[in-house]
A and B are shown apart, each in its own frame.
Chain A
């Protein structure tokens, strides 16, 4: 018996990285998956975003674990696309118990693209709001409770990453998620729908392990000289974040709501 047996999880940013990790692990623990990703490049991104092929790979990997899955290309900035994906997902897989609002971008780069501010806020903050507004009414109406996890960051707790437009946007968007989480947690508690954030330090994913981020950090040595994890580790793995997400969305966490769960190797306590 899996820890989320026969639950349905709606996951954004599921084509690769943390989103794919969550999809595969939840499936391994008995959940069926509605997997969304934009699968498009963003002009302000200085790294390759996920592709349609990535999303297909997530779908195939979930299928291989024996659970049901639908993979849908949808942009969290577009309410219409989200609504259509939600409708199609529920029709194919069933009503949603779990939401993992995970889609996000990191647009801090040496050349400071001007659109980095707006694109980051639109995807990392408004995209999460759009995701919840799309799914939550059905969870309330169904009356079966549920669990929502938003992917924040240590940058949602500390003013790190320096003065670039993309850095400020990233920090602001991830801090904004904490306020959004606390409000939804309050508003949805009476419905036994729990809402929490996870706050990873750097995670070994294609969003972070990429030449443009390396160049950005190389050009900003003050950001990395003293601002380090407490535990002797640089990047944590996707699995580490997934373990926290799994705890939060399983019955183990049935009274956990409104919490900022750090998976940060002690970063926030140290800095």
Chain B
């Protein structure tokens, strides 16, 4: 696997508070990678370090085989699309796109050709002589993309690029971005706080929290096999239950679950809301319905099991059985879907 971007033991912070703490990761060439995390997790800071905005006091950043840790932003050949797009209001669309090529001292004719190509790539050929202020949000986004792609950067960095668009456009641009990245075969790193966006667009992603990497992997892997409580709860909904494992059984305060693999001792398990079935009668775990929400495709219940509240989602069927608040139900958990967290 050819190396796209390598980050080795990077720490960074202003003053005493570390914003990034001993980050190491590797992005393969041509890969679409995402940094996912809540605000303040350090994901944008890490992206900006790759672009050269700020120098980490420790650690190295490599692009391909080249150490860029001490290079200024303008010598890195890393393309960045800013959250605000950062289009220069005093230049036309074409001038904006040509800027990076002019800095590279390309002949005028070649600049014109490449600008035309880049604008055609994002479907904005007719808008070359407009000012950024005369474009819609989606069009501005495309100009920002064209301006970055035209310099043929080794890595494309995207800082929450879709956050200023409305919901419908966001989904459209998302697949367009992915298609463009595939077509150009460029290494891309995408920063977002939206797990759905990251899941949809990324080949692999790193989940960050508190300046540390929590887990790296393909979206489905992270969802199915979260490494810790943060990842389990940040990606989708998870019911976390504390207890202990004894000889293949998970023992909690009010119930025992058989068929759970793991070393004996204290443990925490995660149960996804959809991995549970509800039924009347006997068998399974006794629970009481405290609340039910009809969401269309699914019905979401809040159930009380001992002193603990669990969230459970059951697919909705016409004429299917529903439970009301106060009903006693039995809760059946498929032990194969249970994840044991360290």
A interacts with B: no
* Interfacial residues, chain B to chain A (CB-CB below 8 A): none
Q: Which residues of A contact B (CB under 8 A)?
A: none
